[in-house]
C-alpha cells in the first residue's frame, strides 16, 4: 500500500530526513505530518499541485479548504502583484479595510466586524468577547469540533474511544486550570446541551455549524434551533465558527440555515489563501471591544495584502454563480461515490454540503464524534494511499473533507471518480466488505 508512495516520493523522504533534524517532525504544523513521512509540495496552479519529485496531483484538499478559489487564481495574482508596490504592512489602519468590512457585513448579515490574521485568533477573541459581554465564565464546545490551537478550546478535539465524553485535553502543556471553564457537549444531542445550561452559568456556546473535524457531519435543524431557544431562555451567546463553512456557501452556514448567531468567526477561504480572519456579530456584543475595555489587537491584523485579497475573493471569485458551479461539481463527485457504494455493495456513505464532502466507510452516516470514532479507519487509509499514488489528493486525513474550488473542472471530477472506482474495488477485496 505504501510501496508506490515511497517509490514516487524519494525527494520528499530526503527533505524529511533533513528537516526533521531542525524542525519537529519536519513540518510547521502537526497536521501536515503523516506516516511514514510527509509530502513536500513545491507549487500549485489551478486545481493541481506538484511535489518536490515532480509528481502532479489533482488537489481536492485545497489547503484544508482554504483555497476555494483554487491555486494561484489569475484574478488574485494580477491584483496582488500591483498591490505589492504599495507596501505589505502599514502599521496604521489600511483605508480599504472599511470597504471589506462593509462587504462582510452585507454578505454574512452581521452588524460589526473586527479583523485578525488566523482562525485561532478569531475564535480565541470571540470567547473573550462573549465573556466580557455576559460577565460569565463557562464556555460549551462540542466533542470533535476544532476551533484552533489555543488552550481554552483544545479540549475533546479527537479523544480516544474510551475517553469519549470525558474531558480530554488535546495537547501536552495545557494545565487543567486553563480548561476548567470549558464544558463538553455532544453534537446533535440536544439533551446534552440542555443539561449543561440548566446546571452551569454559561457565557457562550461555540460550534462549527457544520462539523468538519470528523469528516463532514451536518446538524439536525431541530438541534440548532433548540440551542437558539436555550440561548434566549438562559442568556448565553451563540458563536458560529465559520472558519471552514464561510467560504463554501455564499453567506456561510448561518445564511444557509437562516440563523443569526451573536458572533461568527471567518478565515481560510475568504482571503484566497492569505492570512486574514474575522470576528463579527451583533452590535451590542461587538461594542465591548475597545481601548480600556475588551482587548483585541495584532500588528498584522487587516494588513493591506490580505484585505485586498479578501475584497477580490469575495467580490470577483467566490461569487454566487461560481460557488453554484462548484456545488454542481461537488454533487457530481458525491453522487459518483454513492453510486460506487451501491454498485459495489460497499459499506460506504457520503456527506456533502456546499462545496465540500466526505466519505465514511460505514453503513450509516455518523451523527456525532462518538459514532465517528467507532468507524474502522483502516479502509480509509488504503483508499488514501492508493489515491495519492495515482495522482489524486482526495483530502488531508480521514477526519477532513474534500473541497471543490472554482478552478476544478468536470474532467477533474471524472478523473477522480475513474481512479476511485478501481481503488474502492481493491478496498472491498482486502477488507471483505459485505
Query: Could you list the active site residues?
Result: 146, 241, 268
Distances (CA, A) of 91 to 42, 79, 119, 272, 413: 32, 21, 21, 22, 44
Q: What are phi and psi of 69, to 5 degrees?
A: -90, 0
Residues 185 and 219 sit within 8 Å (Cβ to Cβ): no
Distances (CA, A) of 54 to 9, 10, 41, 101, 391: 9, 11, 9, 41, 11
For 196, what's the count of Cα atoms within 13 Å in the CB-facing half-sphere? Answer: 23
Provide CB contacts within 8 A for 207, sequence distance 6+. Answer: 141, 142, 145, 187, 227, 238, 239, 240, 241
Q: To 10 degrees, the CA torsion angle through 404, 407, 408, 411?
A: 170
Residues 397 and 60 sit within 8 Å (Cβ to Cβ): no
Q: What are phi and psi of 339, to 5 degrees?
A: -65, -40
Pick from 415, 349, 426: nearest CA to 381? 426
Amino acid at each position: 500500500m505504501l510501496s508506490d508512495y515511497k517509490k514516487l516520493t524519494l525527494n520528499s523522504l530526503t527533505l524529511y530526513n533533513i528537516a526533521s533534524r531542525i524542525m519537529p517532525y519536519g513540518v510547521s504544523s502537526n497536521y501536515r505530518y503523516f506516516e511514514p513521512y510527509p509530502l513536500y509540495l513545491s507549487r500549485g496552479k489551478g486545481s493541481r499541485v506538484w511535489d518536490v519529485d515532480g509528481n502532479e496531483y489533482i488537489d481536492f484538499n485545497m489547503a484544508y479548504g482554504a483555497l476555494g478559489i483554487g491555486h494561484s487564481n489569475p484574478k488574485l495574482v494580477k491584483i496582488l502583484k500591483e498591490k505589492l508596490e504599495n507596501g505589505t504592512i502599514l502599521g496604521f489602519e489600511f483605508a480599504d479595510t472599511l470597504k471589506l468590512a462593509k462587504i462582510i457585513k452585507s454578505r454574512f448579515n452581521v452588524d460589526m466586524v473586527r479583523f485578525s490574521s488566523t482562525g485561532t485568533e478569531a475564535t480565541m477573541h470571540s470567547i473573550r468577547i462573549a465573556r466580557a459581554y455576559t460577565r460569565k465564565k463557562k464556555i460549551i464546545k462540542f466533542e470533535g469540533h476544532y476551533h484552533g490551537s489555543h488552550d481554552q478550546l483544545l479540549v475533546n478535539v479527537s479523544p480516544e474511544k474510551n475517553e469519549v465524553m470525558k474531558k480530554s485535553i488535546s495537547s501536552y502543556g495545557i494545565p487543567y486550570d486553563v480548561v476548567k471553564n470549558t464544558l463538553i457537549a455532544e453534537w446533535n444531542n440536544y439533551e446534552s446541551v440542555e443539561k449543561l445550561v440548566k446546571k452551569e452559568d454559561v457565557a457562550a456556546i461555540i460550534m462549527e455549524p457544520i462539523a468538519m473535524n470528523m469528516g463532514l457531519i451536518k446538524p439536525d435543524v431541530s438541534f440548532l434551533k433548540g440551542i437558539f431557544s436555550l440561548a434566549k431562555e438562559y442568556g448565553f451567546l451563540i458563536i458560529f465558527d465559520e472558519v471552514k463553512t464561510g467560504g463554501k456557501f455564499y453567506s456561510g452556514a448561518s445564511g444557509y440555515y437562516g440563523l443569526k448567531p451573536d458572533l461568527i468567526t471567518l478565515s481560510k477561504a475568504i482571503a484566497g489563501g492569505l492570512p486574514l480572519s474575522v470576528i463579527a456579530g451583533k452590535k451590542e456584543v461587538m461594542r465591548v471591544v475597545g481601548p480600556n475595555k475588551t482587548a483585541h489587537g495584532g500588528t498584522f491584523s487587516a494588513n493591506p495584502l490580505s484585505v485586498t485579497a479578501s475584497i477580490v475573493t469575495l467580490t470577483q471569485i467566490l461569487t454566487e454563480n461560481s460557488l453554484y458551479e462548484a456545488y454542481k461539481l461537488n454533487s457530481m463527485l458525491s453522487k459518483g461515490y454513492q453510486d460506487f457504494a451501491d454498485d459495489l455493495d460497499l459499506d460506504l456513505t457520503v456527506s456533502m454540503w456546499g462545496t465540500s464532502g466526505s466519505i465514511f466507510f460505514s453503513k450509516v452516516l455518523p451523527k456525532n464524534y462518538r459514532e465517528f470514532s467507532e468507524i474502522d479507519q483502516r479502509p480509509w487509509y488504503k483508499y488514501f494511499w492508493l489515491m495519492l499514488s495515482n495522482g489524486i489528493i482526495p483530502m488531508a486525513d480521514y477526519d477532513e473533507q474534500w473541497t471543490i474550488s472554482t478552478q476544478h473542472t468536470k474532467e477533474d471530477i471524472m478523473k477522480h471518480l475513474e481512479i476511485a472506482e478501481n481503488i474502492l474495488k481493491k478496498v472491498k477485496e482486502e477488507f471483505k466488505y459485505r
